[in-house]
């Protein structure tokens, strides 16, 4: 079953990635799994469990920009590699332990340090023998009322 999956699904995923790179998503909905829910309800933890990649977690608003997590399965024995892409910046990662810090830096660059959110995407590409071929999307949690230093219109921003 796994080899049939690799044989039939992998070419489709490669095509979808190529279409995304060309910007086709603006005119055509391409498949992905998105996690949506209330703030601090465990969305990033679910994605971490599915992907094996440590994402930023905590209380309050942690995911402040949409994160597209592209997982690509490598052959056994090949080395883990990753890349964080945002705002025309590409950061190569050579160890899974670098992911959380790289995403935090990207979010701070895009949304500023603090509690602000933005709709600019951060892309995390992970290739490893230990991940499935999947594209996952982590979205900021739904917040209805501003807390602390959050913008008063935080609920509208998230929508």
Query: Same domain for 8 and 36?
Result: no
Q: Is the pLDDT of residue 117 over 80?
A: no
CATH number of the domain where residue 136 is located: 3.40.50.300
Higher pLDDT, 49 or 128: 128
The Cα-based distances of 80 to 88, 95, 101 in angstroms read 23, 7, 17
- Cα–Cα nearest to 99, from 88, 91, 111, 87: 91
Contact present, 84 and 102 (Cβ < 8 Å): yes
Averaged pLDDT, 61-77: 85
| Helix (H), strand (E) at residue 49 | helix 43-51
Query: Same domain for 81 and 112?
Result: yes
* Strand order from edge to edge, sheet including 122-128: 33-35, 134-138, 67-73, 122-128, 81-86, 89-93
pTM: 0.71
Domain region containing 80 = 32-158
Query: Same domain for 109 and 38?
Result: yes
Q: How many domains does the chain have?
A: 2
Query: Same domain for 69 and 147?
Result: yes
Band of the pLDDT at 128, cuts 50, 70, 90?
Answer: very high
Query: Same domain for 94 and 82?
Result: yes
Tokens of 126: 């992970």
Averaged pLDDT, 32-61: 75
Q: Is the pLDDT of residue 53 over 60?
A: yes
């Amino acid at each position: 079953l796994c080899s049939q999956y690799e044989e039939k699904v992998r070419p489709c995923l490669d095509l979808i990635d190529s279409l995304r790179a060309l910007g086709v998503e603006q005119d055509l909905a391409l498949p992905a799994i998105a996690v949506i829910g209330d703030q601090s309800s465990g969305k990033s933890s679910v994605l971490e469990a599915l992907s094996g990649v440590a994402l930023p977690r905590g209380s309050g608003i942690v995911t402040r920009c949409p994160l597209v997590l592209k997982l690509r399965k490598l052959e056994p024995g090949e080395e883990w590699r990753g890349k964080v892409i945002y705002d025309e910046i590409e950061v190569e990662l050579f160890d899974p332990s670098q992911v959380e810090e790289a995403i935090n830096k990207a979010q701070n660059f895009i949304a500023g340090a603090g509690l602000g959110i933005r709709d600019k995407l951060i892309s995390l590409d992970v290739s490893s023998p230990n991940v499935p071929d999947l594209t996952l999307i982590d979205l900021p949690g739904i917040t209805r009322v501003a807390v602390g230093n959050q913008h008063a219109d935080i609920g509208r921003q998230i929508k």
